[in-house]
Structure 1
Amino acid sequence: MGLQDLGNMRTNKMIKHCLLAGVAGLALIPPYIIAAEGGSTEPKTEAPFHIDHEYTFGEVVKQSMFGDVYSQPENWQELSISNFFSEGWDKPWVSPPTGGGGAPRQGWLNAYEGVFYRLSLGVFGWKHHSNNTDSYSGNLVTFTPINSRFEVKTEIPVSSNSEATNFGDFRIQARFLLSESRNFTQTFNLDFRTPTGSAINGDDVASIIPQYQFWANWWKGLVVRGGTGFTIPYAGEISKAGARSTFDANFSVGYYMTPHDMTPFGDMVWYLATNLNQAIDNRADGGDTAVTLSPGFRTHLGMDWYMLGTVEVPVTNSEYDYQVLFSFMKVY
């Protein structure tokens, strides 16, 4: 057996690790509710709630996490920054109606969200490096609304390169809805990255990541989203992992082509995501500015399953040539 065969066996082994992690993560998605992001017409079994009802804290959480939040969009109410501390905290989250142009509020790979969801997705990544080596990643991402103003996002990653395959840095994000109207939504998010991975894979870094995000749809199927924030590493193997404090920005534009029920091409959207990371310290080697372009798509396959994909291409000097990201997602 030659060196090339040994290399192929190692690569295949890494791919299997990441795929198994993604499949295992999707298997954890709760099967007890079937609903659709952006207003499904599929029948529901439980009784809908009423927005004028007085809820206990437990009822708000239970309804937001497990209730029928899709079949009656009229229960959704606009929220503003001016009443951030007084409105929405005692009401269950309701999936909002489509934007003023008719586009649904949905997530895209490599784009800032800017809105709330209730879903889980498994993401597989393949990154090609200029030195003819590849690295792989798997990630289980879950969005869990708690009430109309607050939800939690978690990420359980796996990283693999030519040296090792390890669990990555677990991340938990507190997400706050600043305001939401029919056409425009704003959120403030506070992401905590924990050093549960290995520096060999670029992990083992603790950092805090505050972000402002927005989502907008004023005209037909055109959606504009993005935001700004900072990544601030403060503990772990910062130098070894190559972590730096950065200013981060995202701007993404997409257009929806098809209606929700036109499966397996429902809610078909094509988009372009642009990401900027500008280093603001010198704690590690590497370029000071990183800009990437990520053309991508998303489509509704049916039964509230979605398929997403994108190719991330660096515009500035980078340690890798390109990265392919692919995902299956379940809305519930």
Structure 2
Amino acid sequence: MADQSRMTLLLVSRFWRRGLLLACLLLTAPAWSADILLTAAEDSAGVRAFTQALAQQRPEDQVSFTPLKQLPAPSHLPASTRLILLDLPGLDWRLQDAQGPPTLVLRISRLQARQRLGNSHPAKISLLWSDPPLERQLRLIANILPQARRVGVLYGVDSEFLLRELIQFAKPMGLEIMPQPWDNTSDSRPLQTLFKNSDVLLGLDDPQLYNPKTVKNLLLSSYAQQLPLVGPNAGFVRAGSLASTYSDQSDWLAVLDRLLDQPPASWPSTLYPQYFKVVGNPQVARSLGIEQVDEIAVAARLAEGEQRP
């Protein structure tokens, strides 16, 4: 009888130890793993590097890249797939099928989305904007050029819709938007008109206005008038504008990591990246007699301002 009791106690003890071990394993293991599929029309080294970086960041998930031409129709992908589009051809492919899986679209600007979607927004598609947020760019101006009040803005047919939003953001900051249409980029007269009425220029991410053909005229004219140009993006700062905010690969990976931790039903329809940096051009600052932009300090001040209610 005593032997039977000891055997029973031993079996119960083993059962509880195994149960405890299983519970520990369940607590330490990820609650779920996701099938994350990235795609683009071009299978480039940069795309592969981005996919690898995301896979390293999310080892519990299945992260893969497949060129767009090798994919079936979106509705033929498993509904549980989390789809990440890395270029505009990918978006065009996804828009052909309303039944596709939940989708995050990277590297798309406000103008590009408007040209493809108008004012509509398809279900299960989240657009992550590539152009710097207008409010953040205005706050950058207020930080690095505190004496500036009149913000000159060139706009075209494609970017005119951004003006109302700009004016709305500028007013609480004590800034005045001075809009100027530039329908013919070979005509410099609109530039001269704008320069006379502005303290600083804010470049919109409109490729019809800011491109390799117009950059020389824009920058030489701004230098001649001693008028700084902010934006429209980090690439233009390298070409000769004063400063801009931007988000790099590490910032986008952080944004994706946060979104992929959430159920797709909670993904926002549109989103500017929360994480960003500031880039300045010291040579331009010196030529304009402006204090060099402290990129880290300015970015920290802007981020702190955005975190306040």
Q: Normalising by structure 1, what TM-score?
A: 0.27
Larger radius of gyration: 2
Bigger share in strand: 1
Q: Identify, as 1 or 2, the structure richer in helix.
A: 2
